Each structure stands twice: as C-alpha cells, then as structure tokens.
Structure 1
Amino acid sequence: MKKQKVKLTGREKSELFGEALVTIVLLLLLNLSIVILLNLAVMNDPHLENNIFFLKKNITLWNGSHLWSWQRGFIVILIIFDVIILWWRLIRRYHQMQLRHVIDELHYIADGHLDHRIPFTVKTDLQKVIDSINALVESTVAAMEEERQIEKSKDDLITNVSHDIRTPLTSIIGYLGLLKYQNDLSQDNKKYISIAYDKSLQMKALADDLFEYTTLKSSNKSKLVLAPLHINSMLEQVAAGFELEAENKNIEFNVETRPHDLTIEADAKKLVRVLNNLISNALKYGNGASRINLIANKVNNQYVELRVENNGEKIPEAALKSIFERFYRVESSRNLQTGGAGLGLAISQNIVELHGGTITCKSDDSWTSFIIRLPLNSPQE
C-alpha cells in the first residue's frame, strides 16, 4: 500500500486561511491593547519610568550599544510570541483536519470496503492509530477468510457424506421394503423390519435435507429455474396436499390472494418446498391450532408478501431469534416423531434469499406468522 500525505480540500484550505486571519486580527488587537496599557502605566508612574531608564542604561547589546527604545524591544518580543501562537493554532487545526480524514476513511472501511486501507502518513501519534487500524482490518479479513474456508470445507464434507450415504440407503430401503411385505415372516421379524424400514426413511430424509441445505447455501441465482408463477394456484395446490392431515387434526385452511391473478417470476418447485416446510411446521408444532391462513398480497407494486399463519401455540420470544438457524429446534428434545434435524426453516430461508427476498417470523397469543417478501420481478433482473 502506497503511503501518502493528507491532501487538504479547497474548503479546508479556506478554513486554515480564515483561522490564520482571525488569529492575526485578535493578536494585533491584543498587542495594541497591551502597548497602550503599558504606555499609560509608564506615563502615570514616574518610578516605573525611572526603572525602565535605568535598565536601558545598564543593558548592553552584543555590539556594545544600549537598548534605547524599550517600546521597539517589547514589540519584537510580542511579534515572536504572536508567530508562535499563530503557528500553534494552524498546526492544531491541521491535525484536526488530518483526524477528520482518518475518520472518513474508517467509516468507508466500516461500510464494508474491507479491501481498503488508510493510506495516510502523518508525523504525530495519529500514525500509530492509523497503523493499528490497518493491522486490525488485515487480521479481521484474514479471520473472515479463514472462517469462510472452514465453513466451505465443512459444507463440502456434509454434502459429500450425505450424497454418499443416500445411495446405500436407497438400496437398504428397497430391500427392507421387499422384506416388509413378505408373508412367510413371523410377527416379530415383521415388526423389526418395519422399524428398520421407518428408521431408514428418516435417515434418508435427514441425508436429503443435509444435501439440499449445503447445495442451496453454495448456490447462486443462476441456479433458479425462473418462470411466471400464479400465486393463488400455487397456494391452493399446496393446501390441497395437506388437506387430509389437516382434517385429521381439525384444522381448516384459508387461502387469500390480493389481487387474485397475482403472478411473479420465481422457481415454483423451490417456493413450494418453502411453503411445504412452513405448513408442516404449523401442523406439527401448532398445538391447539384450528386454522392455517395462506395469504398473498402485492405491496407497492414492488414486492409480494406471503404469509403462513396458524392460531396455535405461541413460539417463545427467545426462540424467534434463532428459529432460522440450522439444526435449531424450538423443542428441547430431538424427537423425530415430531420433526427432523431442524433444517427445514434454514432451507426455506436460503431459498427465499436466492429469490432476493426475506423471511421473518412473528408470534403472539393470537397468531404465529411466517412472512415472506419476494420481489415482484425476477431477482436476476
């Protein structure tokens, strides 16, 4: 990084000139006041005048001459003092301007430009601050890069392991499925095979979730299959898929779309996955719910807001902050009968963010709402 001196702007140079002008005027007024007061004091005090005459007579300069004009000597002393004061004030203001430039550079780095460094070189202790800031940014960038590499390695490991596990699991599930329906097995054997079959399905679902999560996390918008999507039709089809399960739990679906023909550019398959995750959570964890709302609204001709709401049990306030983190589950026990590994909402968040949108959750005593905001137009535009 090439070091450079702090370059003052035209406005700052004008400030320095104004500072110098004001200081000179004030010093001249102060000097004039002092000279006038001293002259009045000498004129009104004969003893003071005699003492000054005595000093002039006895003070000998370097060339053997005497100091005959005390006024001139005093004015020279005042001029030297004025120059020192003027220099001190200008240097002080210049250092303030240097600090202002350093603060501006620091704000620029804090705004996310971590590849930038403060290029200034100064002759004060401020240089130590500049060097410390640059060193701190360097170490922060290095730590972030190291963390990214570790996260990437971890995700690659999860992706590879989950992918490799799915192939043998598919074969195991196939063979267990054949054995499950054999008639010549005892009841105990059928029971154990059925348990192994169900556990294999759960393990495959977990491997699929892990694979999908890490794949989505490393994806970009070019991997979306975008097409016009009729929101109301999608919501009605998704609700129909859960109709039987909802009836068994005495839960009623309500679908509303405003306007009715609302259409966006999106990846239908991935958005359906998001809605499936949210509705599944509502059915599993919305204890006491009697209604699930699927609502879509156009907002300011820029966004589409999708809401998945249920009037079941409230989600604790502390859980709302971590609900979209991977492997996080609101319930303390990891019960596979009520849920998986806690990846559903993390996957949903990744899909929504791939579309250039956001997803949030609000919960009170009346409703628990998952709110999705998607851009009306394609995120690739």
Structure 2
Amino acid sequence: MQKRKGRERVEVIIEAVVWLAILMIAYFGLMFLFIVFYEEYYPIFILNHPDAMMSVLRFQQTFFVSFTLMYLVGSVAFVVWRIYRRRRTIQLGYILEELHYISQGHYDHRIEIDKASSMEPVVNSINRLVDSTVKAMEEERRIEQSKDELITNMSHDIRTPLTSVIGYLGLLQGHRYKSEDQANQYAQIAYDKALQLQRMVEDLFEYTKVRQVNTALTIDKVNVPHMLAQLAVEFEIEANEVGRSIIVDAPQKDLYVEMDSEKMVRVFANLLTNAFKYGGCGKWVRLTVEPQPEVTRFTVANDGNQIDDDVLNNLFQRFYRGDPSRNQGIKGSGLGLAITESIVTLHHGRIWAESDEESTRFIFELPNTYTKEGL
C-alpha cells in the first residue's frame, strides 16, 4: 500500500511540474508577443499623441498585473484539475487491477476505499456487486447440493420397497411358493410396496412443484370452519384406526380466508397424518382456527408424546423423521412437513411447531387477504 501511494504521489508531482513548466513557457510566450506588438504599435501612437504617454504607461502596468493574476489563477485551477484527473486515472487503474484479481477466483477480496477515495461511490457499488454475485453463486451451489441430496435420499428410500417388489414378484414368477395362500401373501406385499413407491413419487413431485416460487395458486374465498368439518369427516376412519378422535374448534360458523383450497387441504392432511403416525398413544387431534386483525391462525394439536426442542427445530427439513428409535416401521417419504411448509410459504404465511407435556402443536398463519406481492 505504501509503495502504491508513493508511486501515485510521484506521478502526481511529475504531472504538476510538467504542466507548470508548460504554462510558464506559454506565459512568457504571450508576454513576448505582447511586447513585440507594443514596441511596433505604441511608439507611433505616443509620437502622435505626446499627452497620452502617462495613460499608456498606466494601462501597460495595469494590463500586465491583471493578466498575470488572471493567468496565475487560471493556471493553478488548470493544474489542480489535471492533478485531480490524474489521481482518478491512477485510482481507476487500481480498481481495474483489483477487479482482475477478483475475477481470478479471489471472491473473498474487496476493493479498499481508502486507496480510491475519489471514486468511493464506484468502489462501493463494485463491492456490493461482488457481494451479490458471491451470494448468488453460493445459493446456486446450495441449490445444486440440495438437488443432489434430494436425489440421493430419494434413491435410498425408493431402493428398499423397489427391492421388495422385485423380490416378491420374482418369487411369484419362478413359482417359488409352497401354497396359494403364500402366493397371495407375496402378491399383497408386492402391492403394498408398490403403493409405497407411488406415494413417494407423488410426494417428490408435489415437493418439487411447491418449492418453485412461481408456482401458480388458485385463490378463492374459503369457508374455513366448513373445510375443517369436512376434513374431520374424511379422516374419521383413519383416526379411529389409531384410537383418536378429531375435534374441530372454530369460533364462528362463517369465517372466510383467501387461499388455494386444494393445496391447503394437503397441508391439513399432512399434519393430521403426521399426528396419527408420530403422535404416540394420544387420544385426540384438535383443529383450531383463530381470526386475528391481519392474519388467521390455524393449529393442529395432539396429546401425544412431547417432542424435544432439538427435534422441533428440524421438523420441516425434508427427510427428517426425528428420533429413529421412535419411528421404526413407520412408512413415509419424509417430505410431508417440508411440503407443508412450502405451501404455507407460497401463501405468504409462516409455520412452526411447539411441544410441551400437554400437547404438540403445529401452528401456521395466513394473511387474511392474499396478494401476489405478499404481506
């Protein structure tokens, strides 16, 4: 840095000396021309008008002083301007060198403002541009890594049921069964595994679709208490199979919220299914809606086992299933809650989970009036 500043100082001094010399030569040149003109013209004028000699001398003196002062001021201003331009040129060269250095892969490097103080706005803009470019590159790498992880995880999850389907169908094709009942059992297992594969593929398709920020929503005014009552009826059999009852808690009969009803039904279906699968030995699942001034709050609660805080923080990550020892034998793609969060986000809402000894609650809020720009 000191070396660069020293070189910049030398170049500026040389620039100033050169221009001062040029301006001094120009000054003496102009004075010489004036003297030549004066000697040729004014003697004749003075001889013809002897009484004007004093006026001519005063004019000569005034002219020399005024011209010299004006020339001095103009010269100083010109030299200062040239020095300023020279400094900007030097600093522009420094900025170009720094940009070249950054473009070689040194993306953590930033241009120092004190080395290009006269171009501070330009330097700030360049640094912000580099920052945004680096962030975009990191986001692109994160997305690529996320895609790779998604493919790896889905490949791992699909392999197990697919192997079972191929294995049992192979047994049937090779007639390697002892009885007709065993053959039917093999066929049923293969069918169940095929259905599991179908659900995984459907979840993967839904997840990739709702993760896109430009996913189109079909927004309508939906009567929320009526929708929750329908959901309770549709999931009644599934709830009875795990020994639970579904309770709907709505403060009023008619409460309309703007939403994509089809996707929002998927949200409640995922949360209800999650409660049935992972809720332990609870007895109920409660669907609650609470209107507020700017948002409407929805809660899907169950009285199952309490979830630890470290698990709560990761519930909405894809393929996350909490404590493996508590989830053995539970089928699923691991994308349900990730899909749920994406759908709520598409509606410009937010979702989170809470758990204590009394209940586990999945809570999400939607704006009372949906807009494409969000809240």
TM-score normalised by the chain length of structure 1: 0.56
Q: Shift in Å at residue 120 of structure 1?
A: 4.6
Q: Deviations over 1:172-211 (max 9, x none)?
A: 99xx8xx9xxxxx811111111111111110111111111
Counterpart of 2:19? none
d(CA) in 2 for partners of 1:153 and 1:318? 25
d(CA) in 2 for partners of 1:152 and 1:312? 32
Secondary structure at the residue paired with 2:206? helix
With over 3 angstroms needed to count, the CA separation of the structure-2 counterparts of 1:138 and 1:278, relative to structure 1, is closer
Secondary structure at the residue paired with 1:314? coil
d(CA) in 2 for partners of 1:331 and 1:249? 20
* Equivalent residues, number: 247
Query: Which structure has the greater CA radius of gyration?
Result: 2
Correspondent of 1:199 among 193, 197, 207: 193
Correspondent of 2:206 among 198, 206, 212: 212
Contact 1:156 1:214 in 2 (8 A): no
Counterpart of 1:316? 308
d(CA) in 1 for partners of 2:272 and 2:365? 17
Give the structure with the larger helix fraction.
Answer: 2
**Which aligned pairs between 1:155-194 and structure 2 lie closer than 5 A?**
186-194=180-188
With over 3 angstroms needed to count, the CA separation of the structure-2 counterparts of 1:245 and 1:357, relative to structure 1, is same
d(CA) in 2 for partners of 1:292 and 1:148? 37
d(CA) in 1 for partners of 2:128 and 2:227? 52
Counterpart of 1:289? 282
Counterpart of 1:326? 318
Contact 1:357 1:375 in 2 (8 A): yes
Contact 2:278 2:327 in 1 (8 A): no
Is 1:278 aligned with 2:281?
no
Gaps of 5+ in 1: 1-116, 180-184
Calculate percent identity across the aligned residue pairs: 36
Contact 1:259 1:297 in 2 (8 A): no
Which amino acid letter does the alignment assign opposite residue 141 of structure 1? K
Contact 1:334 1:341 in 2 (8 A): no
Counterpart of 2:50? none
Q: Shift in Å at residue 297 of structure 1?
A: 0.9
TM-score normalised by the chain length of structure 2: 0.57
Which amino acid letter does the alignment assign opposite residue 297 of structure 1? E
Correspondent of 2:296 among 268, 290, 304: 304
Q: Deviations over 1:35-84 (max 9, x none)?
A: xxxxxxxxxxxxxxxxxxxxxxxxxxxxxxxxxxxxxxxxxxxxxxxxxx
With over 3 angstroms needed to count, the CA separation of the structure-2 counterparts of 1:237 and 1:142, relative to structure 1, is closer
Contact 2:286 2:301 in 1 (8 A): yes
d(CA) in 2 for partners of 1:248 and 1:138? 53
Counterpart of 2:257? 264
With over 3 angstroms needed to count, the CA separation of the structure-2 counterparts of 1:188 and 1:227, relative to structure 1, is same
**Superposition RMSD on alpha carbons, in Å?**
3.9
Secondary structure at the residue paired with 1:374? strand
With over 3 angstroms needed to count, the CA separation of the structure-2 counterparts of 1:131 and 1:294, relative to structure 1, is closer
Is 1:255 aligned with 2:236?
no
Contact 1:155 1:214 in 2 (8 A): no
Q: Shift in Å at residue 327 of structure 1?
A: 0.5
With over 3 angstroms needed to count, the CA separation of the structure-2 counterparts of 1:306 and 1:153, relative to structure 1, is closer
With over 3 angstroms needed to count, the CA separation of the structure-2 counterparts of 1:157 and 1:283, relative to structure 1, is closer
Q: Shift in Å at residue 136 of structure 1?
A: 7.2
**Which aligned pairs between 1:32-51 and structure 2 lie closer than 5 A?**
none
Gaps of 5+ in 2: 1-109, 173-178
With over 3 angstroms needed to count, the CA separation of the structure-2 counterparts of 1:269 and 1:151, relative to structure 1, is farther
With over 3 angstroms needed to count, the CA separation of the structure-2 counterparts of 1:291 and 1:153, relative to structure 1, is closer
**Which aligned pairs between 1:76-115 and structure 2 lie closer than 5 A?**
none
Correspondent of 1:144 among 138, 141, 147: 138
With over 3 angstroms needed to count, the CA separation of the structure-2 counterparts of 1:192 and 1:123, relative to structure 1, is closer
With over 3 angstroms needed to count, the CA separation of the structure-2 counterparts of 1:293 and 1:141, relative to structure 1, is same
Q: Shift in Å at residue 243 of structure 1?
A: 1.1
Correspondent of 1:359 among 351, 363, 375: 351
d(CA) in 1 for partners of 2:135 and 2:305? 43
